Amino acid sequence: MEQAAGASRERARDFERFLTFVDAVVAIAITLLVLPLVDVAGELALPGRDQSVVHLLRDHEAQLYAFLLSFAVIANLWFTQHHVIRPVVAHDTAVTRLMVLWLLMIVFLPFPTALVAEQGHQPVTKVLYIGTMTLSSVAVGLMAQRIRATPGIRDSDDGSDPAASWVSAALFAVALVLSLAVPATSYYPLLLLLLTGVLVRGWHRLRGRRPHAGRVGQ
């Protein structure tokens, strides 16, 4: 009995260490977004350059836009993942693998972010950028479903609702289609993500279910 309890505590500690690793990698990924802007600031010190900060910002407004958008996206994806994983208290192989897949999308995102700043109008850039966000939401949705279906790894039902992740994934997909079909909209269709909370609450009301508590950051 004591041996089983000890093994359970060890698995819980292993999972906590894994989550710490995930948070550290996300922090690094979100920090990498600003590095191109640091390089831009260095242009003011180049010989022969007589440029004001205002002109510098205007010349690189696309990079600033890409940074702010990606920062907001990664932060929102982390909040969603944090909410879903919050009730988990024990290691589960499927959840861990899905988390690694989600983490891969987060780590990859700075690359399409850089492409948005330089070649944001190209369809391939839009597919890489918005497609990465879509896959990350799908991974979190699958995580939530696995957590809900495996009560032995959680201590409550709070956070195991996959609705928000599936709604986000659907909105990302719609945003990608609109951005490709109507190039003039650029990346503004991503503003559809602001409707996530409203749509989730509407879905719960339609099914006669009480919405879960709001996520951190909402």
pLDDT digits (tens, 9 = 90+) for 52-78: 777 777 877 888 888 888 888 888 888
Average pLDDT, the chain: 83
pLDDT score of 43 = 67
- Average confidence (pLDDT) over 155-171: 83
Q: Which of 23-37, 41-55, 105-119, 141-155 has the lowest mean pLDDT?
A: 41-55
Is residue 215 one of the residues assigned to a domain? no
Share of the chain above pLDDT 90, in %: 33
Q: Distance between CA atoms of 64 and 33, rounded to whole angstroms? A: 10
What interhelical angle do 93-108 and 61-85 show, nearest 10?
A: 170
Nearest CA to 35 among 124, 117, 135?
117
pLDDT score of 106 = 93
The count of structural domains within the chain is 1
Instruction: For residue 32, give both structure tokens.
Output: 């990498």
Is residue 218 one of the residues assigned to a domain? no
Is residue 153 one of the residues assigned to a domain? yes
Is residue 213 one of the residues assigned to a domain? no
Is residue 216 one of the residues assigned to a domain? no
Nearest CA to 140 among 104, 108, 110, 114?
104
Q: Output the CA torsion 28→121→188→77 (10° steps).
A: -20
Nearest CA to 172 among 188, 186, 193, 187?
193
What interhelical angle do 61-85 and 110-119 show, nearest 10?
A: 150
Share of the chain above pLDDT 70, in %: 84
Is residue 211 one of the residues assigned to a domain? no
Q: Distance between CA atoms of 185 and 18, rounded to whole angstroms? A: 40
Q: Given pLDDT bands bounded at 50, 70 and 90, which one contains residue 216?
A: very low
Is 7 a residue whose pLDDT tops 60? no
Residues with Cβ within 8 Å of 42's Cβ and at least 6 positions away in sequence, in order, are: none
Is 211 a residue whose pLDDT tops 80? no
Is 217 a residue whose pLDDT tops 50? no
Residue 196's domain spans which residues?
2-206
pLDDT score of 189 = 93
Q: Given pLDDT bands bounded at 50, 70 and 90, which one contains residue 3?
A: very low
Is residue 212 one of the residues assigned to a domain? no
What sign has the CA pseudo-torsion 17, 20, 22, 25? negative
Looking at residue 75, its amino acid is A
Is 212 a residue whose pLDDT tops 60? no
Q: What is the pTM of this model?
A: 0.80
Q: Could you tell me which residue, 217 or 174, shows the higher pLDDT?
A: 174
Please state, in angstroms and as integers, the Cα–Cα distance from residue 6 to each residue in 10, 17, 85, 89, following that order.
6, 17, 23, 14
